[in-house]
Each structure stands twice: as structure tokens, then as C-alpha cells.
Structure 1
Amino acid sequence: MSTRTIPVGGKRLTIEDIIALTQPECRARLSDDPAMRARIDAGIRFLDALLEEDGVIYGVTTGYGDSCTVTVPAHLVYELPVHLTRFHGCGLGEHFDQPTSRAILATRLCSLAQGYSGVSWELLERLTLMLNESILPVIPQEGSVGASGDLTPLSYVAGALIGERDVWFKGSQINSSEAFQQLGLSPLKLRPKEGLAIMNGTAVMTALACQAWHRAEYLTRLSARITSLASIALDGNSNHFDELLFAVKPHRGQQQIARWIQHDINHVEHPRNSDRLQDRYSIRCAPHVTGVLRDALPWFRETIENELNSANDNPIIDGIGEHVLHGGHFYGGHIAMAMDSMKTAVANLADLHDRQMALLMDTKMNNGLPANLSAASPERRAINHGFKAVQIGCSAWTAEALKLTMPASVFSRSTECHNQDKVSMGTIAARDCLRVLELTEQVIVATLLAAYQGVQLRRQQADELRKPAAAVESMLSDIAKEFELLTEDRPLELELRSWLRKIRQQPWALYED
């Protein structure tokens, strides 16, 4: 397998760069960009000069948060960042998986490499090494309010750097000092600003947002394809996706979804008028539902990538201009809004395909398909139930996804003696969004298999069906290789789990943009 190397610093990273860096075969390197290197060098010199002059710098010569009025004596300045990493070591909940840990490392490295955080080359190089050698901090998911940044989860990155937290390394969970020792290295000694620089930012929520965007974008494509299959299975009216119809409502994403479906069902060459003038909303209005998410993706991308390529800690160190700028760039409001919005649009896909699933099951609505899409022979139909329970599962998964659409960003809590009295909840919003994606993928996988079975059953009933596009036929052939028609009832859990893993790897290209 070829190795891709992504330079960090000097140019904007994309969501796709972060997704690539979640894989161990992708490597990071610090950019040779002269401007970036000048900013980092100047920031180090400027901080050192301020410390020699007894300058007052928040989190460097003062305590943190509400303790900013507490002066730290010079002889304790180097101990302060270590204490910051330690007292924030209180995360709970499940741990992020290893690809997500990699995404968090890459995202924090990108921010610090902007050159406005006053960190050393040694720190940047060690973060790069941890990525490339897969020394991955074990990070609990819960404990961040999303301002002053992702303090608690990022403390596990800082703690790993100094040899005081666990990492995954070579298939085992071990203390980071042991992992460094195996590579002939010692734990890093943090400079005065570096504990705060690592922790006081939005790296966790932004890393999760990159993953969420990547999954949501693919789901818009898969949603269009499943709608195509469902329309074919239901012998639907192809005119609902006509280009002329969508020309009069110019939402580009919506138009793109309709164009994809129109192409899939070969409407131009083989238009099909159903006996029903209008199909039900979950077919007829599918471009309008999926199109909302498709149209929002460019805004989500811009918001996430702006955060990714920002210096988002506090204080900001302008070494070249010799300014210490105290502000609130750790605040995750943009990511919170993007994630709260995305999870609502994604949950609507779950609701859409749950409704399509219900249409396919019900003999009052499925236009002549067998009840519950059972492929059983007539003499055995009475004891076979096809996708009946899977449809119940879809309703359960959809209900849970819809329940999670309550925006996290409106649940701000005052923390830290009211110093942090308005917080973003961006990390909770991002975690919610990923859970909604997980549930929606479950609905989509179930509907994909049901729609596939529906198409095959429809073809058994009649030879004169519309001829779908070659890409659709190819996908049907791929599914047929691994999914046997549900003729006799069988437990489907393992097959559903297998197909979930498959679609999360995005196996089909699904349309050219």
C-alpha cells in the first residue's frame, strides 16, 4: 500500500486530509513554509523574553480560569502546565477509538502549527511522531463543555506527551513513557505555555466534525441510490424526478439529488408513468429531504475547515508583532452550530428511509409486492415474515436519532466559578451528531437490503420493468454476491452488522459530482 504524506502548517488542511490521517499508512510532516517557521521561532523568543522580564501572561505566570488573579512564582512556572494536565484527568464515558484519537492529534497539530500558540518545535515534532508511530492517547469521550476548549479530553494528549497517561501502541494499551522508551525517547518536558496551548482549544470537537462531515456526505449519495431502488421496487412514477420539474426550484443540492435519481432509474430513456399520479412523499419528496443536507454540506465544510485551520487557544501569541492577545478563540460555537444543524438534517434521512421501509413492507402501499417483502414460496408464506422485525428496528433506530436532534448548544452551563459562564457544548453536539449518523446508517443499511429484495421480487413479477442505469445494475450484482434473498426467515443481525462495516468504508463511488 502506498504511503501518503500530508504537510501540516503553511497551507490549509481539508476535511479529507484529517480523514486520511486517521489511517496509519498516512503520515504527517511539518511544513517547510518559511512564514510558518518564522512565526513559531518568533513566538518562542518572545515568550522567553517576557518570562525574563517578569511579564504577566495568563496561564503562564498566573493560575487558570477564575484563578487568573493568582500569581505563580517564577520557580513554579514550569510545574504549572504539569498540574493543568493532572487536575483535568477526570474524563469518563467510553474512550474514543484509535482513528478518532489520530484525528484529534492531527487537528491539534494543525492548530498549533499556525504559529500563534507560543509552542516549541519539540512539541510539534513529538505530536507528529505520535501520529506517524501510532502512539495514540486513550481519551475518554465525556467531560468537555466546549469552552475553554476541550480541556479534559485534550489533557489526555498533554498527559501522554509527558509520560503520565496511557496510549495505544503496537496493539497494547500501555503508559506513554513506556511507548516512548521503546523508541529510544524520553517523555516531553512542557514549556510554560505548552500545557495550555495543547488543551485550551477545539481539537476534539473539530476532529469529530471532520469525521461527521465525511460520513454525512456519503450518506447523501447512498440515500439517493436507495431512493432509486425503492422507486423501482414500488414501480413508482419516474416523472417525480424530471429535470424540468426541479429547474423551477433552484436549490443546487436538491437538484443534484433529483438528477442522480433520474439517472439511476433511466427516466430520460425509459420514463415510466405509474397508475398512481403521485407517489407518496417518502419517494416523491426524497430529493427535497436529502437535498437539505446536500445543500448544507458546503457551509458545514467551510465552518469546519475554518476552525481546523485556526489558532484556537488562549492567549494568542503574536511573536513577530510582540503581542499577547487574551481572548476566547477556544470557544466552539461554530462547530456546535454546524453539528447541531447536521444532526437534524441527517436524522431526517433516517426518518425518510424508515418511511420508505414501511411502504415496501405494507401490501396496502407496496403496489403488489409480498407482505414484509418475504420471498417465501406460496405454500410457506404463512410462517415466513421477511423484513417485518427489521422494519420495527428501523422505527426504533429512527426514533432514537430524532430524539437526539435537540440542539446541544442551547444547554450552556456556567462553570468554573462563573469564569466560563457561557460555553458552547460543541463537543457534546459533535458526539450527538456521530451517534445520529450511526443510527441513520443502521436505518439506511436495512432499507438498502430491503429495497434490493424489493427490486428482485418486482422483477420476478414482471419482465417489462424500467431498465436502470448500469451503475445501479452493478450495485445490485455486488449485493447479490453477499446477500441471499430472504426466502426463509433467518436471523439478520450478523449480516446487518457486516453491511454496516461495509458502507462505513464507502465501497461504491456513487455518482460523479
Structure 2
Amino acid sequence: MSTDLLPSCRFGAGPLSIEDVVALAGRRARTELDDTPAFRARIQRGADFLDRLLAEDGVVYGVTTGYGDSCTVVIPPDLVAELPHHLYAYHGCGLGRFLDAQETRAVLAARLASLSQGMSGTSVALLEGLASLLHHDVLPRIPAEGSVGASGDLTPLSYVAAVLCGEREVLYQGEVQLAAEVLPRIGLAPLRLRPKEGLALMNGTAVMTGLACLAWSRADYLCRLATRLTAFNVLASDGNAHHFDQSLFAAKPHPGQARIAARLRTDLHSEQPPRNAQRLQDRYSLRCAPHVIGVLEDTLPFLRQLIETELNSANDNPLIDPDGERVLHGGHFYGGHIALAMDTLKNVVANVADLLDRQLALLVDARYSHGLPANLSAATGPRAAINHGLKALQISVSAWTAEALKGTMPASVFSRSTECHNQDKVSMGTIAARDCLRVIELTEQVVAAMLLAARQALSLRQRMDGPLPLHDALAAMHADLAQRIVLVEEDRALDGDLRQLLQDIRGKRWEIYRDA
């Protein structure tokens, strides 16, 4: 599909949402830079003011001084133009995996959003360069590790600055190539960074914020899937749907928790009398599911506010006020809000993984599943003795859950003093964001396994008890799963099914609970 046919995301025309960044990251939107005279004039005023200040021998951190602890070093006027290139050069020390294509696009979008606030003293050409990388999908190869989250994401963002200057490597058209060779092919001349533009590109929170947008979106979908899976599991285990009664949840009115309970009531037709609930009170992993998933549901709006405020902020240092003609030295590169958001999100998501792990443990255990065969094996007759159903899958789910729970250690409390004690209190926001994405990845693996188990368990319950009173949406989703996943009657490897389900989860195959 040509990018010209995609909806546009216009930078500089107003605030961006998490959904905007996610759409750009998934190549479902095209990048545009606001072309109104007012926007262009605001950007130019900042650059012009900085030029006048330098001509008048003004002192600006990182422009006429060294960086960080070296802020007391005066840069000779004839070397000022070289300083931005030294910044990205000596920060070229990142290691670890490279950010994937979606993550890199999210980072580019977050940096462009910040610079489009017009408080960074950059040229319009710099913004156009970033927009061009996004538009043509020229993706700097950004190592994931090396940022402490203040002074911003210096090391990973140095790879963005270097690429705009025609250096280092990019991913373009599926191949790793030299930036110097690719930029001419998209009509982009390598930039010679103006004073302050190295800091403007690098001294901000774009990596952690871009990753946070992706993490939030994936967590929101996991919240919906976990609710739907709980409905499947209540039915499969012949549980008591009246644990989600409206009057009950009105007595403890956390809005997200109540919303989860309402979704379960709809899925389970629980306004009707119970069919044949085996227990007056189900075990906690079923009965208290709204209380667990509801914490995630209630946390998401708060975290959205933190992430989107950061996304739509000027977060480098110093800031250049183009209207008041002031240089504002501060610390907006500090990523504490994103660090909190990511440490919080990984905690509540991992708790959902733990909930689903406990639900599966009940389903595969014949002592607690109210008549379902052991390990949810569909084998019958003499061959049942040699078939083991989902026994190993439950072990894997337990392993993924344990690793997710282990990953909830908060990164933000591990501040380090760096750079000769200039950066003596740092956010660790980027580490928190990477940790959060890993917890989400593990939880998605748990959810993939639970989708497979739901297909199996509901089919077995229907085999035993006849048709179940499935809500239309529940029935449609189970039918979709049943069509694509063969019932496990004879033992087989399940990794192919799981990998396909992971693609479905990350591609948001199922439209679920579009009630809010």
C-alpha cells in the first residue's frame, strides 16, 4: 500500500496520541510536518535567536561550552560548529540488541514530536530530515542498551543524529545499509548540524517514550484478551458466572474493575440464573479476575496521561524560548515520569500473566476442572493412556509467568551517579521501558497458550455437556480459534500454533470490548 493512501499524522499541528505513534510505528499512517507559515516561523525564530546570541558572544550550555561535567570548558568560536558532531561521535558506544523496526519508528516519532514544540532552537531542515526518515522508512540501527534516562537517551539517540549526518548504518528495504549510501536515494543530503542541534536530537526522552507508547498499546490489548480468556475459562470449568454481579461491584466502585466485571457479565449471560455452578465460590483466579485485571484497566488511563504529556513536551536542554528570547537551562531530559509508567505497567501486566497461569493450572488438573479430562487431552479409548494433552504447555506457561514476575523489579530505584557526578541522579526510564516490553512479550506468550487452551477446554466441555450458552462475540472468537487450531487429540508439537497466535495477538486480530 502506498503511503500516500494512508491517513496522515501531522507534527506541529497539535498534540499527538499514543495511537498516533503506534500507527506510525506500524506503517499505518504517514508522516507530515506542519507546513503552515506560523509553525515554520516559530521554528525559525528559535534558530535565528540562537544565531544572534552566538554573534553577541552569549554563553549557552552545549553550544559554547563542553557537555555535562565539561560545561566549564569554553569552546573557541572557530570550533563551535564542530561540537555537535563530537557529541554523537563519542556517544557511539551502544550495545545489546538493535531496536526493531516498529520500535525505531516510534523513537523517531517521539523525537520529532518534541522538536516540533519549537523550543529546541533547531532549524526546519532538521525536522524535515527526521520526517523524511520516517516517511521513507529509513531506520537508524539503534542499540538498545546504554542509556540511564538522563541526560536523556544520549547514546541510543546518537545513532539518529549520526544517520542524519550520513554516518553509521540504517535498515532500509529490509537490508542493513550505510546511511551515506541510502540518504541520496531518498533525496536527503547529509546534515551539517547547527549549534545546539546535537543536543536537541540526543538530550531527550525519545527512546523511552517511543517504547512506552508501544508498551501501553500492547498492554491495553492484553487487558482485553485476559478478560475474554477469563470468560472462556469460567465456562470451560463450569464456574459461577454470578461472581461478577453488578450490585456486587457497585459496592467497590473502581471504574476499571467494574468495567471488567461488566464485560464478563456480557460474555457469560450472567444476568440469567446460574446453569449448574459446581461451587458456591470459585477459586480466586476466576472469582477475583476483575480485581486483578481491573488494576491494569484502572492504571492505563493514568499511564496514558504520563506518556502523552511526555510525548508532547519539549524535553531537551537547554530550551530556547523563541518568543521571550531566553535560554532556559534545566533538566527536562529527566525521564522520571516514563520510568514510573513503565515500572508500574510491567507490575500490573505481570500480575495478569500470573492470574492466567493459575487459571490454566486449574483447567489441566482433573481434581479442579469439574469433569474435564486430565491435561485437557482430547484422546479417548486405549490411546488416552499415551497422550498427555497440554501437560507441557502448562509447564511452559509457568516458566514464562515466573520470568515475567522476576522482571518486575523497578528500574527507577537503581539510579546511578554518572559522568563525573554531573548526572548524579538519573531516571533509568529506558531500562524500565525495555523491561516492560520484555514482561509484555512473556505475557503475550502466556496469552497465546491460554487461547490454545481455551479452544481445547471449551470444545471438551461441549463434547461432555452439549452446546454452551455462548454470547455471540464469545462464540465467534471460539469458532475462529477452532477453525485454525486443530483439537489436540494426539500429542503434537504446539510451537507452530503458538507462534501464529503470537502474531495474531500482536496484530490485534480480534476486536474485543470496544465499549470504552
Normalising by structure 1, report the TM-score: 0.98
Deviation at 1:37, TM superposition (A): 3.1
* 2:180 aligned counterpart, secondary structure: helix
- Take 1:418 and 1:38, find their aligned partners in 2: how far apart are those partners? 39
1:49-77: CA deviation from partner (whole Å, max 9, x where unpaired): 01101110000000000000000011111
* Paired position in structure 1 for 2:510: 508
- Take 2:276 and 2:263, find their aligned partners in 1: how far apart are those partners? 19
Deviation at 1:273, TM superposition (A): 4.7
Moved more, 177-186 or 398-407: 177-186
Tell me, yes or no, if the aligned pair for 1:238 and 1:272 is still in contact at 8 Å: no
In the TM superposition, 1:108-507 aligns within 5 A as 108-269=111-272, 271-463=274-466, 466-507=468-509
- Take 1:83 and 1:117, find their aligned partners in 2: how far apart are those partners? 19
* 1:79 aligned counterpart, secondary structure: helix
Tell me, yes or no, if the aligned pair for 1:360 and 1:451 is still in contact at 8 Å: no
Deviation at 1:35, TM superposition (A): 4.8
Q: Which amino acid aligns with 2:311?
A: L
Q: Which amino acid aligns with 1:471?
A: A
Question: Is 1:5–2:26 an aligned residue pair?
Answer: no
- Take 1:248 and 1:32, find their aligned partners in 2: how far apart are those partners? 53
- Take 1:183 and 1:215, find their aligned partners in 2: how far apart are those partners? 32
1:120-168: CA deviation from partner (whole Å, max 9, x where unpaired): 0000011111100111100000000000000000000000000111011
Tell me, yes or no, if the aligned pair for 1:239 and 1:272 is still in contact at 8 Å: no
- Take 1:56 and 1:423, find their aligned partners in 2: how far apart are those partners? 26
Deviation at 1:266, TM superposition (A): 1.2
* 2:412 aligned counterpart, secondary structure: helix
Paired residue total: 512
- Take 2:123 and 2:465, find their aligned partners in 1: how far apart are those partners? 71
Q: Which amino acid aligns with 2:382?
A: E
Tell me, yes or no, if the aligned pair for 2:388 and 2:491 is still in contact at 8 Å: yes
Deviation at 1:448, TM superposition (A): 1.6
- Take 1:393 and 1:171, find their aligned partners in 2: how far apart are those partners? 32
Tell me, yes or no, if the aligned pair for 1:145 and 1:427 is still in contact at 8 Å: yes
Deviation at 1:498, TM superposition (A): 1.1
Tell me, yes or no, if the aligned pair for 2:237 and 2:369 is still in contact at 8 Å: yes
* 1:28 aligned counterpart, secondary structure: strand
* 1:173 aligned counterpart, secondary structure: strand
1:257-282: CA deviation from partner (whole Å, max 9, x where unpaired): 11111111111245335131100000
- Take 1:275 and 1:399, find their aligned partners in 2: how far apart are those partners? 30
The verdict on how the C-alpha distance between 1:275 and 1:172 changes in structure 2, with shifts beyond 3 A counting, is closer
Tell me, yes or no, if the aligned pair for 1:270 and 1:466 is still in contact at 8 Å: no
Deviation at 1:33, TM superposition (A): 5.0
The verdict on how the C-alpha distance between 1:25 and 1:363 changes in structure 2, with shifts beyond 3 A counting, is closer
- Take 1:152 and 1:180, find their aligned partners in 2: how far apart are those partners? 22
1:238-275: CA deviation from partner (whole Å, max 9, x where unpaired): 11011111111101100111111111111124533513
* Paired position in structure 1 for 2:19: 16
Q: Which amino acid aligns with 1:132?
A: H
Moved more, 267-276 or 76-85: 267-276
Tell me, yes or no, if the aligned pair for 2:129 and 2:188 is still in contact at 8 Å: no
- Take 1:117 and 1:184, find their aligned partners in 2: how far apart are those partners? 25
- Take 1:38 and 1:262, find their aligned partners in 2: how far apart are those partners? 55
Tell me, yes or no, if the aligned pair for 1:270 and 1:467 is still in contact at 8 Å: no
- Take 1:290 and 1:35, find their aligned partners in 2: how far apart are those partners? 46
Tell me, yes or no, if the aligned pair for 1:272 and 1:466 is still in contact at 8 Å: no
Moved more, 192-201 or 1-10: 1-10
Tell me, yes or no, if the aligned pair for 2:40 and 2:124 is still in contact at 8 Å: no
Moved more, 397-406 or 162-171: 162-171
Deviation at 1:363, TM superposition (A): 0.8
- Take 1:24 and 1:239, find their aligned partners in 2: how far apart are those partners? 43
- Take 1:486 and 1:457, find their aligned partners in 2: how far apart are those partners? 10
Question: Is 1:26–2:7 an aligned residue pair?
Answer: no
Deviation at 1:479, TM superposition (A): 0.5
Normalising by structure 2, report the TM-score: 0.98
- Take 1:101 and 1:475, find their aligned partners in 2: how far apart are those partners? 33
Deviation at 1:466, TM superposition (A): 4.3
Tell me, yes or no, if the aligned pair for 2:404 and 2:439 is still in contact at 8 Å: yes
Moved more, 384-393 or 259-268: 259-268
Deviation at 1:34, TM superposition (A): 5.3
1:67-111: CA deviation from partner (whole Å, max 9, x where unpaired): 000000111111100010010000000000111111111110000
